[in-house]
Amino acid sequence: GAAEKGNYPHFMLKEIFEQPETVENAIRGRLDHEMASAILSGIGLSPRELLQIGHIVIAGCGSSMHAGLVGEYYFEDLAGISTSVEQAAEFRYRNPIIEPNTLVIPISQSGETADTIAAVREAAAKGAIVTALCNVVGSTIAREAGRGIYLHAGPEISVASTKAFLSQVVVLLLFALLLGRNRRLSRSRGAELVAEIEQIPDLIREVLEQALEIKKIASRYAHVDDFFFIGRGCLYPTALEGALKLKEISYIHAEGYHAAELKHGPISLLDEKHPVMALANDIPGRDKILGNIQECRARKAPVVAIATRGDRAIRDLTQDVIEIPPCSRFVAPLPTAVALQLFAYYIAAERGCEIDQPRNLAKSVTVE
């Protein structure tokens, strides 16, 4: 009902603005300052069992799969554990390799997505250790996995996922920190990460404060038919998620690409009618993205850039810059995703779309 939306015109906007608190809820009680690590009791694995994990397989659909793709960077870089991300729909048909030391992490906001449930059952039948990331307490996946980490994002009403996605990424970072400290990650690096994780709610607040500025930029793009989103590193899956948000709620054709893949195809489409959203935060790879922006501009493609506050070089290339506070590469997907949510939201609002209930989409897809 209208009351639950408070002063917001849509649940999606309300949920976007809740994110400083929902991320705080995902973190609360889960940081271990003493050990420079994370505490995730729900995973139900002892330090010795954690040490035995040889491979991680993440399975999910839609935004949950995109969160998993960010998590892949975390687990490989921080914990040194090889990780693969599967579309949950493909998992059982691919005959996945599950060994006794394989950890399967199903990710699902609702815990009721049919393809992800099927992946959990297949993984369990093959003897995998299964630890689920769900938002809905007592949902099918949470129950069947038996162990897991709840997101604590509260009910998500908007069909397009926002706060659950952010909490998934935060929880994956906590999990990677724990696994990292369990193996090769130093105490000092762990302590740095703990401090960075604690800053995430404030980083999000700073992005939310720029909502009007983002709205202004969005209004200049509300009429377009196509959009490319490009990024590198952890911002590559963030680009996928940004493109998904835009196409879900505004019906604009949007594609996320790894920035380096532009030249392997999409660049042939670029012209004044094909704008590009470039995730150009000041993290490793930023100089290469700068080169990609120049390539886009040379083909007259309008560019919206997400950049770290004060990045003059990017302002020289395009007037449409959304500024993100400085942060490390592992944390960067979070404030960046919030900026992309707002961008998609304001475009869809300007186009008069049914934002909370886009046509043909369901909050939870309970059939295969």
* Residue ranges in contact with ligand G6P by CB under 6 A: 61-64, 108-110, 113, 116, 159-161, 361, 363-365
Q: 293 — phi, psi (to 5°)?
A: -65, -40
For the residues of 93-149, what is the DSSP string, one character each? TS-----TTEEEEEEESSS--HHHHHHHHHHHHTT-EE-EEESSTT-HHHHHH--EE
What's the distance, Cα to Cα, between the start and end of the chain in Å? Answer: 30
- Cβ closer to ligand G6P: 79 or 252? 252
E strand or H helix that includes residue 308: strand 303-308
- Cβ closer to ligand G6P: 15 or 282? 15
Collapsing DSSP states into helix, strand and coil, what is residue 265? coil
Contact status, residue 106 vs residue 116, Cβ threshold 8 Å: yes
Q: 217 — phi, psi (to 5°)?
A: -65, -45
- Cβ closer to ligand G6P: 168 or 182? 168
Nearest-approach distance from CB 171 to ligand G6P, in angstroms: 13
- Cβ closer to ligand G6P: 119 or 307? 119
Return the exposure string of 237-267: e unless at least 16 CB atoms fall within 10 Å of the residue's CB, then b: bbbbbbbbbbbbbbbbebbbbbbeebeeebb
Nearest residue to ligand G6P, by Cβ distance, number only: 62
Nearest-approach distance from CB 290 to ligand G6P, in angstroms: 31
User: How does DSSP classify residue 159?
Assistant: S
- Cβ closer to ligand G6P: 156 or 323? 156
Closest CA to 169 of 237, 230, 261, 249: 237
- Cβ closer to ligand G6P: 162 or 292? 162
Nearest-approach distance from CB 140 to ligand G6P, in angstroms: 10
Beta strands in 6-81 (DSSP E): 31-32, 37-38, 55-60
- Cβ closer to ligand G6P: 238 or 281? 238
Nearest-approach distance from CB 166 to ligand G6P, in angstroms: 13
Distance (Å, rounded) from C-alpha 231 to C-alpha 244?
Answer: 14
Nearest-approach distance from CB 189 to ligand G6P, in angstroms: 31
Nearest-approach distance from CB 316 to ligand G6P, in angstroms: 37
- Cβ closer to ligand G6P: 239 or 267? 239
Nearest-approach distance from CB 361 to ligand G6P, in angstroms: 5
Distance (Å, rounded) from C-alpha 133 to C-alpha 150?
Answer: 6
Nearest-approach distance from CB 109 to ligand G6P, in angstroms: 4
